[in-house]
Structure 1
Amino acid sequence: MSTVELRRPPRRPKPAPGSKRFSPLRAVGLTVVGLFTAFNLLVLYWLVAASFKTPVEIFTDPFGLPKHWFALGKPFRNFAYAWEQAGFGHAFLVTVLLVAACAVAIVLISAPAAYALTRLGVRGANGLTNVIAIGMGVPFQTVVIPLFVGLAKIHLTNSLFGLFLVYVALSIPFTVFLLTGFFRSLPDELEEAAAIDGASPVRTFFSIMLPLARGGLITGLILNAIGLWNETLLSIVFLQDNAQFTLARALFTFYGAASYQSEYGGLIAGVAIVVLPMLVLYIVLARRIITGLTLGAGK
């Protein structure tokens, strides 16, 4: 009679800390996240509600629903006032074109640089990557004066092209660092197969590696667009002509006039015009952004 050896069941993995039993640290973390989320939702509600109110309603009933302009049949009066008085129409077009051009240029420059640092065996690639990572930690406020002096010498102050160069230069370190994670995660076998077929490194990059890193490219494109859309300090420093104002720069100029005329409803509506488009874009593409960031960082 043959004996059948019983097979041991696989050992179950240990549950994550705090997944079953009560964890004080987890409770504190969830409480902090919940309070932070509730605070931001409250601020967002106040911003949207106040943009439809009169100045009297803003101060007397800050968290109530707007009534006066709706009763008069002019619910979008504040938005119309901000759009016309601040010149947001032209500034909106300038901002869209500038941000789109900058985001595309940043990705076009950063992708080959990240590929060369991670896949081509460049001598000193690790050191260069570390230098780029250090560049991410340098506050751009510390280099505003040198940048202004340098652009003034080549007559690019008060110029959208000069601001374009500044935006691209200051955004490249983060984008290169982001894309290096994606290119490192790609399998080496694809490059080896392309080399056996006689493909050059340039052809391998454009035909094989670049399409595979599409998620990282889109993530970098979106994050740069969101960051540059709301940028204010550099546009204040480098732009003085009203015809070249971005939305954030136009809003800064509009702040003085609206405050002087006590048009706080129009001012808050202007803030909503600047903030809400990128907020909606982030909400719509949040899953893609988070997936792209975790994919690049996890492999």
Structure 2
Amino acid sequence: MTRFVGDVLVPRLTSAALWLWVVFNLALVAWVGLQSLKSPGDVWLHPFSLPSAPEWQNWSRAWQAAQFSKAALNSVVLTGAGSVLIVGIAAPAAYALARSTRRVAGGLTGYFAMGMSIPLQTLIIPVVVVKLSLSTFMVDWVTGWWDDRITLLIFEVALSLPFAVFVLSGHLRSLPQEVEEAAELDGAGPLRTFVQVIVPLARPGIVTVLVLNVIGLWNSTLLVMVIAPGEDERTLPVALLHLYGTMQYSSDWGGMFAGIGILVFPMIVLYLWCGRRIVEGMTAGIGK
């Protein structure tokens, strides 16, 4: 009986629980989409029914009320540039750590893992101090101007590097070293070997880190509010918070749900498109 519970019943219960969690999240996403097409009265009176007459203008009204045009541009630029910089810096660093035979490499990898455990909230005061010092230095001594969105990009990249390096170093350790030895015999140097041999082989891990950082940067809120709180500097999550402050007084809950959809739905589509690659990249180096 004990063996039956351990070998058969527990996996089935775990699978059932996971499927219930998946169904719940999909139902929640669908519910948000339905609310975004309802009038404010229908949202409160008939929260679980289909919209009687879809109000697509909720989406345009939310877009205009929150000034999502500027926020969307800021989010796209920050997410795109930040993700590329993170992967561009983390991949060579992870490769050096994965192939190094020195004892210090293991310690450095451990420090990167420790960096993942530091809560962002504990860094707010140092972040503000560095932001003000950097802005003052650039304005007074270097360029004569500075944009806090550049500071935001620097901090987003720096704070995302520990996770990226840790994941990629584990993935790169799973790659066979024979391909590098063959490239060396063909006369390829370290840089050429990394670019033409290692990067194509490590594509699943690189795609995983890239997509996860895209999702993380797209949803970044606290750091944006601290570093770039200006109206022209807001990203979509911060603009959504301001939309909530506006819509709760006008009771335009349909527009509020539309704003949530504008922020959330692109990342859901991205994850559904790349979900299998993310799992493959996360598990490829698990045995190393």
Q: Same fold per TM (> 0.5)?
A: yes
Match of 1:139 among 119, 122, 125: 119
CA distance in structure 2 between the partners assigned to 1:212 and 1:185 by the alignment: 10
What is the deviation of 1:227?
1.3
**2:253 is equivalent to residue 264 of structure 1:** yes
Aligned residue type for 1:229: W
1:47·1:272 contact (CA, 8 Å) conserved in 2? yes
Aligned: 1:231 with 2:215: no
1:44 corresponds to 2:29: yes
The yes-or-no answer on 1:174 pairing with 2:174 is: no
Alignment partner of 1:33 is 2:18? yes
The answer on whether the counterparts of 1:158 and 1:238 sit within 8 Å (CA) in structure 2 is no
Letter matched to residue 49 of structure 1: L
After the TM superposition, which residues 60-209 of structure 1 pair with which residues of structure 2 at under 5 Å, given as runs?
Answer: 60-68=45-53, 70=54, 75-155=55-135, 159-209=148-198
Post-superposition shift, 1:18?
A: 6.6
Question: Conserved in 2, the CA contact under 8 Å of 1:135 and 1:173?
Answer: yes
**Gaps spanning 5+ residues in structure 2: where?**
137-145
Q: Which residue of 2 aligns with 1:290?
A: 279
Q: Does 1:273 align with 2:267?
A: no
Letter in 2 for 1:129: T
Query: What is the SS of the residue equivalent to 2:239?
Result: helix
The amino acid across from 1:80 in the alignment is S
Deviates more, 1:224-233 or 1:151-160: 151-160
Q: Which runs of 5+ in 1 are unaligned?
A: 1-16
Deviations 1:119-169 (A, max 9, x none): 133450001001111111111221122111111111189711111011101
**Higher relative CO (CA 8 A, sep ≥ 6), structure 1 or 2?**
2
Q: 1:22 Cα shift?
A: 7.1
Partner of 1:244, secondary structure, is coil
Change in Cα spacing, 1:135 to 1:211, as seen in structure 2 (3 Å) is: same
Task: Kindly indicate which of the two structures has a greater share of residues assigned to helix.
Answer: 2
Provide the residue aligned with 2:142 in structure 1: none
Distance 1:234 1:228 in 2: 10
What amino acid sits opposite 1:59 in the alignment? W
- SS for the counterpart of 2:51 is coil
Q: Which of the two has higher C-alpha Rg?
A: 1
Shift of 1:107: 0.2
Q: Report the AA paired with residue 26 of structure 1.
A: P
Q: Which residue of 2 aligns with 1:249?
A: 238
* Contact residue 18 and residue 26 of structure 1 kept, 8 A: no
Are the equivalent residues in 2 in contact too, given 1:102–1:167 (CA < 8 A)? yes
Worse-matched range after superposition: 289-298 or 223-232: 289-298
Q: Aligned equivalents of 1:130 and 1:18: distance in 2?
A: 40
Q: Match for residue 214 of structure 1?
A: 203
Q: 1:9 corresponds to which residue? A: none
Classify 1:184/1:63 alpha carbon distance in 2 versus 1 (closer, same or farther; 3 Å). Answer: same
Q: Compare 231-240 and 161-170 and name the one that shifted more.
A: 231-240
- Give the aligned residue type for 1:53: K
Change beyond 3 A, Cα 1:127–1:63: same
State how far apart, in whole Å, the 1-side matches of 2:48 and 2:199 are.
49
Q: CA deviation at 1:26?
A: 2.3
* 2: CA distance, partners of 1:281 / 1:210: 22
Structure 2 equivalent of residue 5 of structure 1: none
- Count of matched residue pairs: 277
Distance 1:187 1:80 in 2: 52
Greater displacement, 119-128 / 263-272: 119-128
Distance in 2 between residues matched to 1:287 and 1:41, nearest whole Å? 17
Confirm or deny that 1:57 pairs with 2:48: no
SS in 2 for 1:82: helix
Query: Given that residues 116 and 122 in structure 1 are in contact (C-alpha distance below 8 angstroms), is that contact kept between their aligned partners in structure 2?
Result: no
The alpha carbon displacement at 1:226 in A equals 1.0
Distance 2:57 2:49 in 1: 18
Change (3 A) 1:65 1:184: same
Q: Distance in 2 between matches of 1:123 and 1:287?
A: 35
